[in-house]
Amino acid sequence: MSASSRPLLEVRHLATEFDTEQGVARALDDISFRLEAGETLGIVGESGCGKSVTSLSIMRLLPKPAGRIVGGEVIFDGQDLLQLSPDAMHGIRGNRIAMIFQEPMTALNPVYRVGHQLEEALLLHKPELDERQRRDACIGMLEKVGIPAPERRLKEYPHQLSGGMRQRVMIAMALLCDPDILIADEPTTALDVTIQAQILQLLRDLQRENGMSIIFITHDFGVIAEICDRVVVMYGGRIIEQAEILELFDHPLHPYTRGLLQAIPKLDTEPKSLLKTIPGMVPSLLDFPPGCRFQNRCEFAEPRCREETPPLLGEGHQVRCFRAEEFR
């Protein structure tokens, strides 16, 4: 993979805002990252840092009218998705970039049978298939994602499936159209640890088979370590560090990342407790002070951190911290 080759997806200086009752909240600020073909990129950070808003912005699925993209580009396959017509974007969504969510019930419709929903997805994206071919494709995909007795499952409703099975159905639905990119937004958080491991294994196997790229969103560094090639760390709507996975684990440069990694929970604690060891709270999006957004929790903060926003600097391993050089 040469630095000059064009990445499959390149997000450049993406900025997203929400109108709230208290004013305009800048949920994403200057988000830039690349996703190479066949790569798994992790996006990690605590609740509210902007992981889901990043994926919704890429997919142009922000809640309207409150949310809007106010700057930046999302270059996919040589075109800026943010400039596409709604129709053209519809052709990309689900077809070339698919998404799976934390809670499958938000994506599955409770009143339709599983088979109907899978076939609808295919009908939309592969209209050339006849009824028979659609059914065969659905059964084949359910088998592939490890669902026993797929013919029977097709006739069931989502509520008749276990959480793990629903998640598999959603993965099957996302993969039916053979996307180039799968965005997985905390797809295993609601599942128990054994099922979680099975789903991660499944994603890895499917990726090996079809070569798709994955953006894997989580607040769990343990999951990141298992599945990702590279990782983006977010804090308060900004990327504060990104690097190859081993590099990040061996040489975390940002004080926040260093705190996160020291705080990796033991197997018996909840991932949500990840940040207990970094004192302080994330300020509200509405009143971030000027400068670095981590300043109020950072033991290394100096006057300039409160005045200027540090740029995201570095080749390969990038970090947004004036003092990062001291840790290199």
Ligand X SMILES: Nc1ncnc2c1ncn2[C@@H]1O[C@H](COP(=O)(O)OP(=O)(O)OP(=O)(O)O)[C@@H](O)[C@H]1O
Query: Please, are residues 212 and 180 in contact by the beta-carbon 8 Å criterion?
Result: yes
Question: What is d(CA 256, CA 262) in angstroms, rounded to the nearest whole number?
Answer: 10
Q: Which residue has the tokens 């957004």?
A: 293
Q: Check binding of 16 to Mg ion (CB under 5 A).
A: no
Q: Which of residues 189 and 309 has its CB atom nearest to ligand X in the complex?
A: 189
Side chain identity at residue 38, one-letter code: G
Radius of gyration in angstroms for the set of CA atoms belonging to the chain, rounded to a whole number: 20
d(CA 26, CA 31): 12
DSSP state letters, 46-105? STTSSHHHHHHHHHT---TTTEEEEEEEEEETTEEGGGS-HHHHHHHBTTTEEEE-SSGG
| Least distance in angstroms from the C-beta of 219 to Mg ion | 8
Minimum distance between the CB of residue 284 and ligand X, rounded to whole angstroms? 8
Stretch that binds ligand X, among 62-70, 138-146, 163-171, 202-210 (CB under 6 A): 62-70
Candidate residues 8, 9, 28, 52; the one interacting with Mg ion per rule CB under 5 A = 52
Nearer to ligand X, 145 or 199 (CB): 199
Q: Which two tokens stand for residue 284?
A: 């509200």
Please name every residue paired with 75 in a beta bridge, in sequence order, or none if there are none.
10, 80
313 binds, among Mg ion, ligand X, none (CB under 5 to 8 A by kind): none
Least distance in Å: CB of 147 to Mg ion? 26
Q: How far is the CB of 135 from ligand X (least distance, A)?
A: 35
Distance of alpha carbon 272 from alpha carbon 230, whole angstroms: 22
101 binds ligand X (CB under 6 A): no
The answer to whether residue 50 forms part of the interface with ligand X (CB under 6 A) is yes
Angle between helices 163-175 and 131-144 (to 10 degrees): 130
Q: Which stretch binds Mg ion (CB under 5 A): 43-51, 55-63, 82-90, 268-276?
A: 43-51
With vertex at residue 146, the alpha carbon angle to CA 42 and CA 118, rounded to the nearest 5 degrees, is: 85
In 3-state terms, what secondary structure has residue 25?
strand
Question: By C-beta, is 48 or 314 nearer to ligand X?
Answer: 48
Q: Using the minimum distance from each CB to Mg ion, give the nearer residue, 106 or 194.
A: 106
Binding residue for ligand X (CB under 6 A) from 53, 118, 245, 253?
53
Residue 66's binding partner among Mg ion, ligand X, none (Cβ under 5 to 8 angstroms by kind) is: ligand X
Which segment (49-57, 107-115, 166-174, 269-277) binds ligand X by CB under 6 A? 49-57
Q: 290: buried, middle or exposed (CB in 10 Å: 19+, 13-18, 0-12)?
A: exposed
Q: Which two tokens stand for residue 44?
A: 């990690």
Span interacting with Mg ion, options 8-16, 34-42, 52-60, 305-313, rule CB under 5 A: 52-60
Q: What minimum distance in Å lies between the beta carbon of 66 and ligand X?
A: 5
Q: Which of residues 4-43 bind ligand X (CB under 6 A)?
A: 18, 20, 25, 27
CB nearer ligand X, residue 26 or residue 125? 26
Question: C-alpha 16: how far from its chain's center?
Answer: 16
Which residues, listed in sequence order, are joined to residue 98 by a DSSP beta bridge?
182
Map the footprint of ligand X across residues 266-295, applying CB under 6 A: 285
CA nearest neighbour of 160 among 176, 173, 149: 149
Pick the stretch among 46-54, 64-72, 164-172, 315-323 that binds Mg ion (CB under 5 A): 46-54
CB of 308 to ligand X, least distance (A): 23
Binding residues for Mg ion, rule: CB under 5 A, are 51-52
Binding residues for ligand X, rule: CB under 6 A, are 18, 20, 25, 27, 45, 47-53, 63, 66-67, 219, 285
